[in-house]
Amino acid sequence: MQNTIEIKHLSREEKLRVMEAIREDLTHEEESLESPDWHKQALLEKEDRVGTGQEQIVDWQEAKNELRKRFE
């Protein structure tokens, strides 16, 4: 790969910008990507667990806040 970046030499801000650029680029290709069978199965299992009350859906912001509290 000609444009290899030495990630370890980037600042945290630069790394985050690169990650965001990659994510943005990948989202334009989403239509052509197929989810693997194991992923569909995992989603169906999750749906079943939520439906039976074995698991609960948590708001993403709430989940991030909880994780931050745990690792502070």
Residue 3: is its pLDDT beyond 70?
no
Range of the domain at 50: 7-70
- Residue 1 inside a domain? The answer is no
- Residue 46 inside a domain? The answer is yes
Residue 1 confidence (pLDDT)? 47
Q: Which residues contact 10 (CB under 8 A, 6 or more apart)?
A: 18
When divided into structural domains, the chain yields a total of: 1
- Residue 60 inside a domain? The answer is yes
- Residue 54 inside a domain? The answer is yes
User: CA torsion 36→37→38→41, rounded to 10°?
Assistant: 130
User: CA torsion 4→10→13→15, rounded to 10°?
Assistant: 30
- Residue 2 inside a domain? The answer is no
Whole-model pTM: value is 0.46
- Residue 40 inside a domain? The answer is yes
Task: Say whether 64 sits in a helix, a strand or coil.
Answer: helix
- What values do phi and psi take at 28, rounded to 5? -75, -15
Q: What is the average pLDDT value for the chain, to the nearest integer?
A: 89
- Residue 63 inside a domain? The answer is yes
